[in-house]
């Protein structure tokens, strides 16, 4: 099945099974805004817990905060967002559709990469075991030609973006012959800058009201609270501050479901270090974060680092962690060494000293910062994409199963009475009443057991138990595993010890040590 079709299926699965709904759907929706349903919120909360605990519980020197969405507008002047948080946009005059110029060019780079990958796949099929991929890539004329085109384009693009050369970006689009996917024409307008921040008015009367922004990132809430936390928590450098919260960006092009939203959630951690040590800490956080992703068990081959060659003027190292989505490898997290840029800017704009006094050396300095920044919704999407599986069963039937890591699954255990009479429902309820303090359980008595299993498979419930007539005599139930579909008879008294350890967030955290 084409990857595009797989993605469409994942999007409709998310809706059909109560994970993600389009916002304001009965009013025909609101572009790039989504709501999470009854299963989505559980999965999302579990992702957040996994991240939060991996930061705050697992590190003695990381604490959390929850800052407000509204902040003093000067903060966004100091951070550079008012002047420079822009995307280059371009319109197609025929279709009247608007695009991000950088995305059009990145897609074009992706096309060259796809061509290379196709040549490699074709040759691998043709030559079988004797295929030497490296040699093939170094010698095949079509691969070499596409590589040359890709590298040249990449270089031109990086240069134009680095200098924010809007004419240069337009020229690349023209030279590459990029067409609008809707109209198929090259009738492009000039490239213009577009600020991504949403603003609103705060205050009751017209004269006293103030223009405020909906924060486009959570990080600034951490920077402006740096002194509060350092002083009240008596934090010693190096230390980190973590935060999970909503961020808002007026994205020009809303695409790919919850990959690019206008209201989304971030999990950010700023780690404050002594100047000069930041390039020791950067690789450590790079590895720590990759380990966090890979502990989910999706396979190392589905992740890669994308180190930034062109750095923002205030950064001295940056990398993205990319995940293989059905539409290619895409950024889910950024790790940046941001020097003392943000704290120094806030010193300058607020007129307040934001320094750390190091008692060991008697020096005062503005700390340097390593930040890890990940989108909850993108993480959600990557998990859904990896978990969604269509399986052909031996009996000729098929099933859709969400192979979610058990610790992230919305529901951990479904309790199913074989029939809804003769005391079986009561026994099932009794089991739930004992286990509900430990993990999320659900009860289902409607339809055949087979249909009920399918419903649980579709939302990723790792375990189901059936309560039958024998249960009333031997106090045992049939425990079914979602992935293997194997069933075993176990005593009700053992259920908690059999399941709790496997479905707890702690089971994931232990893999990080």
Query: Can you list the alpha helix ranges (DSSP code H) found in 17-132?
Result: 38-52, 74-78, 81-84, 101-127
**Dihedral sign, Cα of residue 259, residue 265, residue 266, residue 267:** negative
In the set 107, 113, 251, 500, which binds ligand ATP (CB under 6 A)?
A: 251
Give the residue ranges of DSSP H helices in 404-504: 424-435, 449-459, 469-474, 495-503
Residue listed under structure tokens 């659900």:
442
194: β partners: 87
The answer to whether the beta carbons of residues 356 and 367 sit under 8 Å apart is yes
| 505 assigned to a ligand binding site | no
Query: Measured from the CB of residue 85, what is the shortest distance to ligand ATP in angstroms?
Result: 9
Stretch that binds ligand ATP, among 44-52, 296-304, 370-378, 499-507 (CB under 6 A): 370-378
Residue 377 found at the interface with ligand ATP (CB under 6 A): yes
100 is in an annotated binding site: yes
Interacting residue with ligand ATP among 169, 222, 244, 332 (CB under 6 A): 332
Which of 215, 260, 289, 427 forms a contact with ligand ATP (CB under 6 A)?
260
Segment contacting ligand ATP by CB under 6 A, of 17-25, 202-210, 259-267, 304-312: 259-267
Half-sphere CA count of 340, side-chain side, radius 13 A: 15
CA distances from 448 to 203, 402, 418, 420 (A): 59, 20, 8, 11
342 forms part of the interface with ligand ATP (CB under 6 A): no
Residue 32 or 401: the one with the smaller Cβ distance to ligand ATP is 32
Cβ(62)–Cβ(240) under 8 Å? yes
399: annotated binding-site residue? no
Q: Considering Cα of 38, then 49, then 464, then 396, what sign does the dihedral take? A: positive
333 binding ligand ATP? (CB under 6 A): yes
| Residues 53-92, interacting with ligand ATP (CB under 6 A) | none
Binding residue per annotation — 192? no
The size of the chain, in residues, is: 513
Q: Which is nearer to ligand ATP, 296 or 374 (CB)?
A: 374
Site stretch for ligand ATP (CB under 6 A), options 160-168, 201-209, 260-268, 384-392: 260-268
Q: Which residue's C-beta sits nearest to ligand ATP?
A: 375
Tokens at residue 371, please? 């930040």
Residues 201-230 that bind ligand ATP (CB under 6 A): 217
Tell me the C-alpha distance between 305 and 283, whole Å: 12
Q: Judged by CB under 6 A, does residue 264 bind ligand ATP?
A: yes
Give the span between the Cα atoms of 96 and 343, in whole angstroms: 42
What distances in angstroms separate CA 173 from CA 110, 253, 423, one per listed residue?
14, 17, 70
Among 113, 331, 445, 500, binds ligand ATP (CB under 6 A): 331
Nearest distance, CB of residue 100 and ligand ATP, angstroms: 9
Judge whether 176 is annotated as a binding position: no
Please state the residue numbers annotated as binding site for substrate: 100, 217, 264-268, 371-375
Give contact residues for ligand ATP (rule: CB under 6 A).
217, 249, 251, 260-261, 264, 266, 331-334, 373-375, 377-378
Q: Which residues are annotated as a binding site for ATP?
A: 249-251, 259-264, 331-332, 375-378
Mark the binding-site residues, compressed into ranges.
100, 217, 249-251, 259-268, 331-332, 371-378
């Amino acid at each position: 099945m084409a990857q595009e079709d797989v993605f469409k299926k994942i999007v409709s699965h998310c809706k059909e099974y109560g994970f993600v709904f389009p916002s304001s759907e009965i009013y025909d929706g609101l572009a790039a805004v989504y709501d999470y349903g009854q299963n989505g919120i559980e999965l999302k909360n579990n992702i957040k817990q996994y991240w939060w605990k991996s930061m705050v519980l697992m590190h003695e020197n990381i604490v959390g905060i929850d800052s407000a969405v509204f902040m003093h507008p000067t903060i966004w002047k100091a951070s550079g967002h008012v002047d420079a948080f822009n995307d280059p946009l371009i319109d197609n005059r025929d279709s009247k559709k608007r695009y991000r110029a950088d995305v059009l060019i990145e897609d074009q780079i992706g096309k060259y990469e796809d061509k290379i990958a196709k040549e490699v796949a074709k040759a691998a099929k043709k030559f079988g075991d004797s295929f030497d991929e490296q040699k093939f890539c170094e010698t095949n004329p079509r691969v070499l030609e596409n590589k040359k085109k890709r590298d040249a384009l990449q270089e031109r693009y990086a240069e134009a973006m680095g200098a924010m050369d809007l004419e240069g970006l337009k020229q690349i689009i023209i030279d590459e012959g990029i067409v609008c996917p809707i109209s198929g024409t090259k009738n492009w307008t000039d490239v213009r800058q577009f600020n991504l921040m949403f603003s609103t008015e705060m205050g009751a009367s017209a004269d006293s009201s103030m223009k405020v922004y909906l924060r486009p990132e959570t990080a600034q809430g951490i920077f402006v609270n740096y002194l509060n936390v350092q002083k009240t928590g008596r934090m010693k450098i190096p230390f980190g501050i973590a935060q999970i919260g909503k961020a808002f960006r007026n994205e020009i092009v809303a695409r790919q479901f919850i990959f690019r939203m206008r209201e989304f959630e971030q999990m950010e951690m700023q780690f404050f270090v002594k100047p000069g040590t930041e390039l020791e800490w950067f690789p450590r956080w790079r590895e720590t974060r990759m380990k966090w992703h890979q502990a989910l068990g999706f396979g190392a081959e589905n992740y890669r680092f994308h180190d930034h060659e062109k750095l923002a003027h205030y950064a001295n190292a940056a990398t993205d962690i990319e995940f293989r989505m059905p539409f290619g490898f895409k950024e889910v997290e950024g790790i940046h060494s941001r020097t003392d840029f943000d704290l120094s800017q806030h010193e300058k704009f607020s007129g307040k000293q934001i320094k750390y006094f190091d008692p060991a050396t008697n020096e005062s300095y503005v700390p340097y910062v390593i930040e890890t920044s990940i989108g909850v919704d993108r993480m959600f999407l990557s998990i859904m994409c990896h978990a969604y599986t269509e399986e052909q069963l031996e009996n000729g039937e098929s099933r859709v199963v969400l192979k979610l890591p058990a610790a992230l699954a919305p529901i951990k255990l479904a309790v199913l009475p074989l029939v809804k009479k003769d005391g079986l429902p009561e026994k099932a309820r009794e089991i739930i009443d004992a286990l509900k303090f430990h993990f999320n359980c659900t009860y289902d008595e409607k339809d055949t057991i087979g249909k009920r299993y399918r419903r649980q498979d579709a939302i990723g419930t790792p375990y189901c138990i059936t309560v039958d007539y024998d249960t009333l005599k031997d106090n045992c139930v049939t425990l079914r595993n979602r992935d293997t579909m194997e069933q075993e008879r176990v005593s009700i008294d053992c259920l908690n010890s059999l399941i709790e350890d496997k479905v707890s967030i702690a089971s994931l955290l232990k893999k990080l040590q």
